[in-house]
Structure 1
Amino acid sequence: MSTVPPSELVVTVAEHLPTIAAGAGERDRERALPRAELDLLSALGALAVTVPATHGGPGGGAVEAAELLRLLATVDPSVAQVPQSHFVYLRLAEIAGSPALQQQLFGDVLRGARVANAQSERTGATVTDIATRVRIDDQGWAVVDGEKFYATGSVLADWLAVLARDRDGADRIAFLPAETPGVSVIDDWDALGQRTTASGTVRLDAVRVPLTHVAEREAAVGGPHGYGAFAQLLHAAIDVGIARGALTDAATFTRTSSRPWFESGVDRAQDDPLLVQRYGELEVAVRAAEAALDVAARAVDATWREPSDAAATEASLSVAAAKVLGDRAALEVTSVGFELGGTRSAARGTATGAHDRHWRNARTHTLHDPVRWKLQHLGRWAVAGTPPPRTAQV
């Protein structure tokens, strides 16, 4: 039984941010996976923050999960992205999982286990085309066959949540230990940014799973539970965290490494009124994104307390707004950081600036779930009162 309140777990993670930040630049350069950092989060109990109190957990909600990811993303958004799908699939198990699955999965997470997604596929015309299949064998087991890519956190996961389609075309989530026979996880993620998310290709060859550990995805996605909004909230939290971390590092660079422009008439770059003005504009953008994230997290929590169509609609709209503002802030701050730092900020190996890492991470992560569609949903609501659809992306 966990006796640590979820808010205290957030404070504890904040206290350990310097440890996680210490090697972030080197991990990015060397593509060294953050095993020690994730193990630290597991040991602190942070990754169990949303385990329901009825299962011995802290019983935290979207507010705590989003703040944890935002904090982590200020220092290393790759570390922050690993728990994103972890928390999302714990929520799915809470909504749609069998008692047997909940007991085993939540118990393992309370002991430090991590859950990774095995969801995306390369071959479909869109992200909703799923080739991975689940069937029932003669012994009454579920059998999963398929291949996934960009399975965030899978290389360092204890459990995998595998999206598969049954013979009737319904989507199922098969929860299975990562060492289950027939599972292969290949560490082959190599991208511009978010380089150390422990993502990989997951191959499933006649993987047998107890039927009790296969959940109906539609029960979570289609209900008024804010499930898709929660998933998107956590992505938004990462973007907002990147923006804050990049702004903090840019300001440090200005104070310690930048030279003033000769026309400014000042001795220190930090006293240049044009730089100060630009920093003020960026601070507004980041604060707006942080405020929207907090509003959205509370809206998602409202769906957890009292699920309803109205609450689910408000959660999706609030999260869409937070996602747009977070996306814009992350991209603007990480780009303008170079402008404010000058030529020196583009030098490779700049210790205090790290502008290229921030920009690459922001540019890569904000490619998740395009904000142009968030604006469409917000616009349709504003014009005609049309609620957003219920999907895992809204």
Structure 2
Amino acid sequence: MTTIGVKSEVYLEKAKKLAAYFAEDAVERDKLGGTPKKQKDQIRESGLLNLLIPEEFGGEGQHWSTALEIVREFSKTDAALGHLFGYHSLFVSDIQIKGTKEQQAFFYPQSVQQNAFWGNSSNPLNESLLGKRQGKSYLLNGTKAFSSGSPDSQYLWLSFNDAVTGQYMNGVIPTKKPGISVRDNWNAIGQRQTGSGKVDFKNVELEEHEIIDDFVKNPTPFSTLGPSLSQLILTNVFIGSAFGAMAEAKKYTTSKTRPWLTAGVEKASHDPGILRKYGELWIQAKAASVLADEAAKLLDQVWEKEKELTEEERGELAVSVATANVFSGKAALDVTSSIFEVMGARSVNNEYGYDRFWRNVRTHTLHNPAEYKLRNIGNWVLNEQYPTPNPYA
């Protein structure tokens, strides 16, 4: 990606070793679904979960570009684990974006001490979780869907609506708090081990220090960065999936694929049509990675400004991220479906599990429709208007 320091290389080496471990049973685990407990514990033990927590609170204080490179590395072999690590990074960082310094000082040291995994229950389009004010706390009742990373997590980043005013709110809460029931019932065609099912809340007390409302009381451009972070995480899931699919296809093509009878060559790896197709796939994945790296570099610069961030700087990042996200989504969909053309008919055998790359990308490219990101980009190109901040832009 962008220029990486010596210390960052240490984290990336850890990620590469973990990715090799994840690859050993990625196909089997994808078929099973559920929670990758063993693999999540390996990530815990690596110390990578503390990557973005500031050093003053016991974390590693690393750049977002490093975290995104790790998302990409994990996604080459297991997009679900890339997603889980990326979203953990997002929810940990949400405290810095939307919370107070006091809340950082409270939650971050605990998270570091526990090597905690953060999940979420914060789908902003789902307003079925309501909070009723009780003095300085809230009593939560309802259900949230698409709660990625909620199984086997220590903390949940959540969103809810005030039962009286309808105000959109956030909070952080221990997953094992009484009244919380995590339903590990995610059953989609892709990202099958992300634990993106439902979480039920029954008379759950959200205490005063767990209520994240500084972004409501003191809104800033910095407090609206969450959607850009989320989109850039998924961008790197797409790119990792594309490169991972090509790596698997290369192994198959060079060892098992037979040249077509009229190709006039002895090896499939010498077939002109196959060579051309690999060239096309590589160009798409590489172009996507360049756009994503450019956005990551800009994110690192923006992140340093925190509350001093301007609307224009936030807007520049939003356009850069949307550009990378749309292109990488399309590129990854093409790459992960086209690999079968360079492997041949036998590669569709279910034992190989090559379809998981496409299924994972297809599942996530629907998360935030490209159509509306394209309109935002077009409005910026034609009318010089930055995207209006909302939960998805």
Structure 1 unaligned residues grouped into runs of 5+: 121-126
Q: Given the alignment of the two structures, is residue 209 of structure 1 paired with residue 209 of structure 2, yes or no?
A: no
Q: Shift of residue 98 of structure 1?
A: 3.5
Helix, strand or coil for the counterpart of 2:284?
Answer: helix
Q: Given the alignment of the two structures, is residue 159 of structure 1 paired with residue 155 of structure 2, yes or no?
A: yes
Aligned to 2:116: 113
Deviation digits for residues 366-394 of structure 1, max 9, x if unmatched? 11101111111111111110111112322
RMSD: 1.9
Aligned to 1:123: none
- Quick one: structure 1 residues 221 and 153, their matched pair in 2 at CA, closer, same or farther if it must change by over 3 Å? farther
Question: Are 1:186 and 1:200, in contact at CA under 8 Å, matched by a contact in 2?
Answer: yes
- Quick one: structure 1 residues 218 and 130, their matched pair in 2 at CA, closer, same or farther if it must change by over 3 Å? farther
4+ residue runs of structure 1 moved beyond 6 angstroms?
none
Aligned to 2:50: 48
Distance in 2 of aligned mates of 1:295 and 1:149: 33
Deviation digits for residues 173-195 of structure 1, max 9, x if unmatched? 12110110110011111111111
- Between stretches 193-202 and 90-99, larger displacement belongs to 90-99
Distance in 1 of aligned mates of 2:179 and 2:13: 40
Pairs within 5 Å for 1:350-365: 350=352, 354-365=353-364
Task: In structure 2, give the amino acid aligned to 1:83.
Answer: F
Aligned to 1:135: 132
Give the TM-score taking structure 1 as reference length: 0.92
- Between stretches 64-73 and 52-61, larger displacement belongs to 52-61
Task: In structure 1, give the amino acid aligned to 2:249.
Answer: A
Aligned to 1:57: 59
- Quick one: structure 1 residues 172 and 25, their matched pair in 2 at CA, closer, same or farther if it must change by over 3 Å? same
Question: Are 1:98 and 1:213, in contact at CA under 8 Å, matched by a contact in 2?
Answer: no
Pairs within 5 Å for 1:106-255: 106-111=108-113, 112-120=115-123, 128=125, 130-138=127-135, 140-166=136-162, 167-216=164-213, 218=215, 223-225=220-222, 226-255=225-254
- Quick one: structure 1 residues 16 and 175, their matched pair in 2 at CA, closer, same or farther if it must change by over 3 Å? same
Distance in 2 of aligned mates of 1:375 and 1:299: 20
Distance in 1 of aligned mates of 2:111 and 2:326: 32
Question: Are 2:19 and 2:78, in contact at CA under 8 Å, matched by a contact in 1?
Answer: no
Task: In structure 2, give the amino acid aligned to 1:179.
Answer: K
Correspondent of 1:74 among 43, 61, 76: 76
Distance in 2 of aligned mates of 1:201 and 1:288: 36
Deviation digits for residues 295-332 of structure 1, max 9, x if unmatched? 11111222211222222111111100110121012100
Question: Are 2:34 and 2:195, in contact at CA under 8 Å, matched by a contact in 1?
Answer: no
Question: Are 1:6 and 1:49, in contact at CA under 8 Å, matched by a contact in 2?
Answer: no
Give the TM-score taking structure 2 as reference length: 0.92
Question: Are 1:10 and 1:46, in contact at CA under 8 Å, matched by a contact in 2?
Answer: no
- Quick one: structure 1 residues 258 and 143, their matched pair in 2 at CA, closer, same or farther if it must change by over 3 Å? same
Q: Shift of residue 80 of structure 1?
A: 1.1
Aligned to 1:287: 286
Question: Are 2:128 and 2:144, in contact at CA under 8 Å, matched by a contact in 1?
Answer: no
- Quick one: structure 1 residues 240 and 278, their matched pair in 2 at CA, closer, same or farther if it must change by over 3 Å? same
Aligned to 2:323: 321
Helix, strand or coil for the counterpart of 1:260?
Answer: coil
Distance in 2 of aligned mates of 1:221 and 1:79: 34
Structure 2 unaligned residues grouped into runs of 5+: 1-5
- Quick one: structure 1 residues 279 and 222, their matched pair in 2 at CA, closer, same or farther if it must change by over 3 Å? farther
Helix, strand or coil for the counterpart of 2:144?
Answer: strand
Q: Shift of residue 228 of structure 1?
A: 1.9
Helix, strand or coil for the counterpart of 1:262?
Answer: coil
Q: Shift of residue 217 of structure 1?
A: 7.4
Question: Are 2:34 and 2:184, in contact at CA under 8 Å, matched by a contact in 1?
Answer: no
Distance in 2 of aligned mates of 1:377 and 1:223: 21
Distance in 1 of aligned mates of 2:83 and 2:277: 29
Question: Are 1:97 and 1:213, in contact at CA under 8 Å, matched by a contact in 2?
Answer: no
Distance in 2 of aligned mates of 1:276 and 1:222: 53
- Quick one: structure 1 residues 301 and 221, their matched pair in 2 at CA, closer, same or farther if it must change by over 3 Å? farther
Distance in 2 of aligned mates of 1:217 and 1:172: 10
Helix, strand or coil for the counterpart of 1:207?
Answer: strand
